[in-house]
Amino acid sequence: MPTSDEILYDHRTAERAFEQTRTERAAYAVASLPRLDVALASAFFVEQARRLRAPEVARELAKIHPDLLPPDAADRIETSAWALWFAHTTWLAESSGKTSAKLRVTTLQAATELKRRMTKVATFVLDDDPTAAAELAAIASGVGHADLASDLARLARLYARHADDLASAGPRYRAADARRARELSAAILAELGEGDPDGETTWRNETSRAFQLAEETWDRTRAFLHAIDFEHGEERYPSVWSIRPGRRAERRSEDADDDGETPSGA
């Protein structure tokens, strides 16, 4: 079976998947683009979906009640992955350079303080959760305004996933912070997007929604896989945030040496 680095982009498949997931993507608010190689992330999701079709894995998943996990989980993961790949590829084609827009001081101050508080609470409570700890480390490393928007969106999702655990942090935990983080993330993107060409903004937003759909579709299935394979689940069925550039990234680096700078995630 091809690995993430070996799966090639198929435009027709990707475009069809994008149309098929239009309703599902619309349910997500716009967030900043993930600090990942999005093309590699898309291939990662495709690879994981295909692994789920292995007879031994499919048999275990088939035992789960359909109200908890749809029988076509593998198909949903792969479709969302191709939709993400299509959106990102189209966004790269539309992209015409970075915006010169600046954040309002009040937005920046509020967002920075909220990120600091939410990160501190989540780190304190979720330190023993390796997946959450890895994501928090990535969030803490963010720099720049676009990263700040992405970090707030990720913190909001983290707060939603671990609401019960985080509530134990006492007065330091504020349930309303998740909603406020989503609002500020959207505000940052809106301010940074002022003056962007319509096409670029549209496809950047589509990439954002498509990534959220693909990540959550995979994570929903991954949770059951971890329960089934308690000892090795994290290693065998990792988060998308665990991916590392392989041959595709090396190939882009070689191309950049020959032809000049190559856009990230191309």
Give me the pLDDT at residue 6, please: 75
Give me the pLDDT at residue 140, please: 83
Burial track 189-212 (b if 16+ CB lie within 10 A, e otherwise): bebbbeebeeebbebbbbbbbbbb
Tokens of 73: 């989980």
Give me the pLDDT at residue 79, please: 98
State the Cα–Cα distance between residues 119 and 64, nearest whole angstrom: 34
Q: Give yes or no for residue 252 having a pLDDT over 50.
A: no
Give per-residue pLDDT as tens, 198-244: 777 888 899 999 999 999 999 999 999 999 988 888 889 999 998 86
Residue at token pair 């689940």: 233
Mean pLDDT (the chain, rounded): 83
- Looking at per-residue pLDDT, the higher value among 2 and 51 belongs to 51
State the Cα–Cα distance between residues 75 and 73, nearest whole angstrom: 5
Average pLDDT of the segment spanning 44-51: 95
Q: What percent of the chain has pLDDT over 90?
A: 49
pLDDT bucket at 264, cuts 50 / 70 / 90: very low
pLDDT bucket at 53, cuts 50 / 70 / 90: very high
State the Cα–Cα distance between residues 1 and 52, nearest whole angstrom: 12
Q: Give yes or no for residue 32 having a pLDDT over 50.
A: yes
Q: Give yes or no for residue 261 having a pLDDT over 80.
A: no
Give me the pLDDT at residue 250, please: 41
Q: Give yes or no for residue 70 having a pLDDT over 50.
A: yes
pTM for the full predicted model: 0.60
pLDDT bucket at 93, cuts 50 / 70 / 90: confident
Give me the pLDDT at residue 4, please: 60
How many angstroms separate the first and last alpha carbons of the chain?
23
Give me the pLDDT at residue 176, please: 92
Closest CA to 180 of 121, 116, 114: 114
Tokens of 178: 């998740």
Q: Give yes or no for residue 169 having a pLDDT over 80.
A: yes
pLDDT bucket at 263, cuts 50 / 70 / 90: very low
Q: Which long-range contacts (CB under 8 A, 24 or more apart) does 212-215 make?
A: 212/28, 212/31, 212/157, 213/21, 213/24, 213/25, 213/28, 213/80, 213/83, 213/84, 214/41, 214/42, 214/45, 214/77, 214/80, 214/81, 214/83, 214/84, 214/240, 215/240
Give me the pLDDT at residue 101, please: 54
State the Cα–Cα distance between residues 66 and 224, nearest whole angstrom: 12
Calculate the CA dihedral of residues 60, 3, 137, 216 and round it to 10 degrees.
Answer: -50
Give per-residue pLDDT as tens, 117-165: 999 999 999 988 888 888 888 888 776 777 788 889 999 999 999 998 9
Give me the pLDDT at residue 193, please: 66
Q: Give yes or no for residue 40 having a pLDDT over 80.
A: yes
Residue at token pair 């091809």: 2
pLDDT bucket at 13, cuts 50 / 70 / 90: very high
